[in-house]
Chains A and B, each alone.
Chain A
Amino acid sequence: MNITHEPFRLVPKVGAENFKTYGVARPIATHWRKATCKEIGCANFINGWRTTIDLNTPLGQTQAKYIRDHSGRKYTVVGQMNNVVTLEFPAGQKCFGEHKRPLEREPIFYIKGGDFRGNPMGIPTQKLRAVDWIDDFGDHQNKIADQKEKG
């Protein structure tokens, strides 16, 4: 299950049918690789970090077992109260997060109808070469700027 919610947006005064969207995509499945903490400049790697574990819960017990028996990371116990333990991990170790870096692959450039609210006109999505995408986007914005100038 994904834990998601729609981000808060300021909604335009007119409907989605009056908009078109220029997008650039680098899908995670095809355009990214895993990266190390060092490559990313991860703050936990640079500064060290603290992890608090509640041993009263099954999750906390699993976390503690993993850290103690399998993680291979150095740590010291810096706090313990009511079975809630705080561990301090010194700098220079891989954190528990996962980092990514983009591959040097050409992104996907596309134009589609509508905006984040949908595509009510059902305008098909076009995929373009980068240079054509910029040309189209540039011409479109210039046209809008000209129209606004005219009033």
Chain B
Amino acid sequence: MAKEPGFPFSVSVDDSAGVVRDISNDISNLQYATPRGVQDITGVNRSAIERQLLLADMSCTLNGAAFNDAANLSHSVFKTVPSSSVNRTTTLALSGQTLAAELLFSDYAHTRGQDGSLTWTAPGVLADGTVPTWT
């Protein structure tokens, strides 16, 4: 297998106007929570619709290492979360593979640390019911 570069992933999120912005250099960590599988929920009291909803569910959390108000970077992208309800294409690219999801971000929250640091969190959920797959 070819050696991977030391900085192998990128994260892009649409701003409120739908323009893709690469915010990789602001992200300290990210998580995608995805359904474990249909077997876990097909109890007798479950309906097919509930199962479909779960299968199409996914949440994502992006965390930033620092407040960055430079043009077209994280603050520029997420500052409109409280004022706009738009689905944002969120793309994780890694080693030639891409995972693109249409997400609705519900917050852009900041944490002021004791050391003066200012970090942020942007949680999102799958917005369009399409299961994101790697391509």
Contacts and interface: CB of A to CB of B under 8 A. Distances in A.
Contacts of B54: 12-14, 18
A98 B68 CA distance: 9
Contacts, number: 182
A19 B69 contact: no
Interface of A: 1-10, 12-14, 17-28, 31-32, 40-44, 97-107, 114-116, 130-131, 134, 137-138, 140-145, 147-148, 151
B134 A137 contact: yes
Interface of B: 1, 4-9, 24-25, 27-38, 40-41, 48, 50, 52-57, 59, 61, 65-71, 73, 92, 94-95, 97, 99, 104, 106-109, 111-114, 116-119, 121-123, 125, 131-134
Contact of A7 (B4, B50, B66, B107): B107
Given A20-B33, A22-B34, A137 B99 contact: yes
**Chain A interface, DSSP helix/strand/loop, else mixed:** mixed
B65 A100 contact: yes
A98 B99 CA distance: 31
A137 B98 CA distance: 11
Nearest to A9: B123
Contacts of A2: 111-114
4 smallest CB-CB distances across A and B, nearest first, come from: A115-B33, A41-B70, A104-B6, A7-B109
Nearest to B2: A131
